Amino acid sequence: MSAQRDTTQRDTASRRDLYLILLAIALAVASFLFFSVFFDEDAPPFSSEVASAFLGSIITVIITMLLLNRQSAAEKELIQEQAKSERISQLNDKILGAKVNLYNDLLGQVKQVMLCEEVSYKHQVEIQIINQQLSYYASEEVLEAFNAFAVLFNEVAGDSRVTDEEREQLVAALGKLSLKIRRDLATDDKARHFDEERLSKLVESNIRSLSPAKIDEAAFLDDCDQTERAYFEQLFGCLKSADVEYTMGTKGFSIKNRRRARRQRVAWVFPTKVRRPSFQIFTSDLSAEMLAETKAFLDSYGESVDTDKTPPETITFSAEQLPVERTCELVLRLVGKQTRFGEGD
């Protein structure tokens, strides 16, 4: 619409200039024909000088009129360009402000997730809304980085729990997203071009420096009472001998199934001082058959393990409720080291 209006204005100006030029030519010819009588040989000598002066004045007025018209048209066009440039600048400022507010909202939502141990339905909805808003303003690079972050966030939200390891993964993904956001918010080419690889390494280094220190097996055992210490010493030995993957965190450790995509964790294990049930099995990724077998196993061998009372996303029990041998058997089944309870590969 704006381009069409500009074209119409240029056509109008061109026609006006053409009319003025034709008018000037017509006036010049008419003036010459009118004053030609004063240049006749029979005319008094001074009459030709007077006619020349009048003719020169008329031509000067016509030329001045043409120049002023062109100048006013150029000034008008300049004013229009300045107004257009100002409108574009104001629009860009508004878009930049909207981007900054949107990215701050995203960081605020992630901050809430980091500060809690559970991902609520409200958190998920808020992230989904921000995802829709990003499509209005964000660059393609930001959308791609946010997609990687959203995939990880959905995995964390799958069981509604946020482990220390997952928290670090979210921060790392957010760090990569932040670099894309930085480029998207840059207002000039100099700010837009930076060494992304070097900054990425600095961000990762800062994440490691600021993250809580992880415990090792010795620290985990030191946080257990005397009875549980012997229990978990035997459990660590079982996991190592069966080559079961587990990762130490800041409070306990997670057991993973390396046969699943992204090595999905299947359980958390905590020492006595954490004041939580020793074991927390995630049920969200278990098949219906495996979940039924797990509940039946715990109902048969566990002491007072209520598999229906625990939250639907998890099954919790303490070291006192299930002998360590049975715990090893359960873990091996969950990570695919046993085809059925009591049977090896």
pLDDT of residue 135: 80
**Residue among 333, 164, 322, 172 at smallest CA distance from 254:** 164
pLDDT digits (tens, 9 = 90+) for 4-58: 555 666 666 667 667 666 766 776 666 666 656 555 555 566 566 666 666 667 6
Q: Which of 38-52, 90-104, 153-167, 205-219 has the weakest average pLDDT? A: 38-52
Q: Which helix (H) or strand (E) holds 86?
A: helix 45-115
pLDDT of residue 239: 92
**Residue among 210, 215, 280, 209 at smallest CA distance from 251:** 215
> Considering the entire predicted model, what is its pTM?
0.48
pLDDT of residue 325: 92
Long-range CB contacts (within 8 A, 24+) of 175-178: 175/200, 175/203, 175/204, 175/207, 176/145, 176/148, 176/149, 176/200, 176/203, 177/142, 177/145, 177/146, 177/148, 177/149, 178/203
Between CA 216 and CA 230 the distance in angstroms is 16
Tokens representing residue 266 in the block: 């299947």
Kindly tell me if the per-residue pLDDT of 194 is higher than 70. no
Kindly tell me if the per-residue pLDDT of 212 is higher than 70. no
Tell me which of 300 and 311 has the higher pLDDT: 300
pLDDT of residue 235: 94
